[in-house]
Structure 1
Amino acid sequence: MPAPINSFKKALADGKTLFGCWMGLSDRYPAEVMGNAGFDWLVIDAEHSPNDLRTIRDQLMILDHSDSHPVVRVPIGETWIIKQVLDAGAQTILVPMVESADQARQLVRAVRYPPTGDRGVGYSLARASQFGTTENYGPTADAQICLLVQVENRKGLAALDEILEIEGIDGVFVGPADLAADLGHLEDMFHPDVQKTIMDTLAKISAAGKPAGILTTNETMINDSLKAGARFVAVALDIDMLLQTARKTAAKWKNNTV
């Protein structure tokens, strides 16, 4: 039995458009709730949420029983954390702040076994291979790993053409908040210059034959992104949904005069 098929990677290769949700609550219980909500993919965020290897592993275990594919955003594109997350069972990795083609090439090596990569061959100890019980895991694992890189500042934009030519980059994600900040419009991703840059970047990624991704909860921006060519779009955040619903409920009853 080889490494399991990466349903997210296959769906993108088949030309499908996938809708996802960002998860920052960092616990298996809300992850189980989100896994039953119907999203195509869910991001376990370790960059801006208090996830560590154990909480990532626990959420991956829960989402094994879900139709929603887990994407793990590592805090930084370092080989050591990528190999740990892969061994924990992640098949799709999202790496923030990719700023050069050289960095992107090293990330490709980080998710592959030798001789074409630097991933440590220790899968007899790893959940990814069911602790060595998945026959032929090593020779088949690389093909099922999906590497997504984030372009979210001017350096990344300058390197985008080269990054798009790299074999092994399975998708490019545009980070709108960081991009807006780097363009001089912190907290204003809807500035016309920022929006134009975002849509032009999504269109360029799509035209190069790579799946393009983005996160936004704004309906107009979601539709504009889809028109520009975005193929994996996160349309919600678990923390935001919880907070907004809680606020509305609290305000409704605190302002009740009956």
Structure 2
Amino acid sequence: MPLRIEDTFRIALAAADRPLAGMWVCSGSPLIAELCAGSGLDWLLVDAEHSPNGLESILAQLQAVNGYPVQVMVRPPVNDTVLIKQYLDLGVQNLLIPMVNSVAEAESAVAATRYPPEGVRGVGSALARAARWNRVPDYLARAADTISVTVQIESTAAVDSVADILKVDGVDAIFVGPSDLAASMGLLGQQEHPEVRAAVEHCLTAAKTARKPAGVNAFNPDTARHYLDNGASFILVGADVALLARGSEALAAQYIKAGDIQKDSGGTPASY
């Protein structure tokens, strides 16, 4: 299937008449990715920063969800030119770049997605799924149109620079990460702290002023609704691994009394 401009997150956000709701895909499993792709959510984030995802598993997940009516964004573990090149060659169209703290780092992320002279992306389209091995007409000339770049605001330095980061040509959106932001503010684990929420709201306001979309991570439904009411254009509201963890715990709580779980000699629940 050829790459299409309409498959970019940038186009989806511009066309939407409501905020887009999505979830994390962290398991590394193509089966789970496909299951989530058919959920009815607007978008998925395949994460490689805090999840067991390498190039091969990302490729398999892209293939598994291909054809489903869902946007797919992929987060590399670091803002690295070589790694971004590899992701793009795999056919990743929507990137979430973590820990972008300055204009220079935002510019570096964008440059990694552009061929020279606009950027520094290495040319290997004949070898790459991105161009369907040179089956996409004029891929080199139009590649930038098939890619969206969202940068992550998750430190006090990034919050201080957010207005300037939003001005960087090629930055299509920002995404605020309250967990790392809270840690950088000396409030580790306190994503709901009033100062953290105020910083997130500052970023949402800056994005509205710049007329660019802003998203945020919020698993707490009340917090998610608060940020949506304050201008978030897209949001992540859950994760595959978290849903499985909480769901399996609920089953255990329903059917097994506390202290009655049988364990084998290794200290793990016995097989049934």
If the length of structure 1 is used for normalisation, what is the TM-score? 0.95
Q: Give 1:201 shift.
A: 1.6
Deviations along 1:121-152, one digit per CA (max 9) or x if unpaired, are 11110011111111111111101210000010
Q: Which residue in the other structure is 2:5 paired with?
A: 5
Q: Which residue in the other structure is 2:137 paired with?
A: 135
Q: Which residue in the other structure is 1:74 paired with?
A: 76
- Does the 8 A contact of 1:2 with 1:140 survive in 2? no
Q: Percent identity?
A: 38
- Tell me, in whole angstroms, the C-alpha distance in 2 between the residues paired with 1:252 and 1:187: 29
- Tell me, in whole angstroms, the C-alpha distance in 1 between the residues paired with 2:200 and 2:136: 42
- Does the 8 A contact of 2:176 with 2:216 survive in 1? yes
- Tell me, in whole angstroms, the C-alpha distance in 1 between the residues paired with 2:102 and 2:2: 33
- SS of the residue corresponding to residue 43 of structure 1 reads strand
Q: Which residue in the other structure is 2:54 paired with?
A: 52
- SS of the residue corresponding to residue 230 of structure 1 reads coil
- Tell me, in whole angstroms, the C-alpha distance in 1 between the residues paired with 2:213 and 2:203: 12
Q: Which residue in the other structure is 1:96 paired with?
A: 98
Q: Give 1:199 shift.
A: 1.6
Higher CA-based Rg = 2
Task: Return the match for 2:33 from 31, 56, 59.
Answer: 31
Deviations along 1:19-39, one digit per CA (max 9) or x if unpaired, are 110011011111111111111
- Tell me, in whole angstroms, the C-alpha distance in 1 between the residues paired with 2:90 and 2:47: 15
Task: Return the match for 2:238 from 218, 231, 236.
Answer: 236
Gaps of 5+ in 1: none
Distance 1:218 1:157, change over 3 A: same
> Amino acid of the residue matched to residue 247 of structure 2?
T
- Tell me, in whole angstroms, the C-alpha distance in 2 between the residues paired with 1:183 and 1:2: 44
Count of residue pairs brought into register by the alignment: 257
Q: Give 1:109 shift.
A: 0.8
- Does the 8 A contact of 2:159 with 2:199 survive in 1? no
Distance 1:119 1:10, change over 3 A: same
- Tell me, in whole angstroms, the C-alpha distance in 2 between the residues paired with 1:84 and 1:176: 28
Say whether residues 1:181 and 2:183 are aligned partners: yes
- Tell me, in whole angstroms, the C-alpha distance in 2 between the residues paired with 1:232 and 1:136: 31
Moved over 6 A (4+): none
Say whether residues 1:14 and 2:15 are aligned partners: yes
- Tell me, in whole angstroms, the C-alpha distance in 2 between the residues paired with 1:181 and 1:203: 22
- Tell me, in whole angstroms, the C-alpha distance in 1 between the residues paired with 2:116 and 2:15: 28
- SS of the residue corresponding to residue 21 of structure 2 reads strand
- Does the 8 A contact of 1:26 with 1:55 survive in 2? yes
Gaps of 5+ in 2: 261-272
- Tell me, in whole angstroms, the C-alpha distance in 1 between the residues paired with 2:222 and 2:121: 41
Q: Which residue in the other structure is 1:190 paired with?
A: 192
- Does the 8 A contact of 1:22 with 1:45 survive in 2? yes
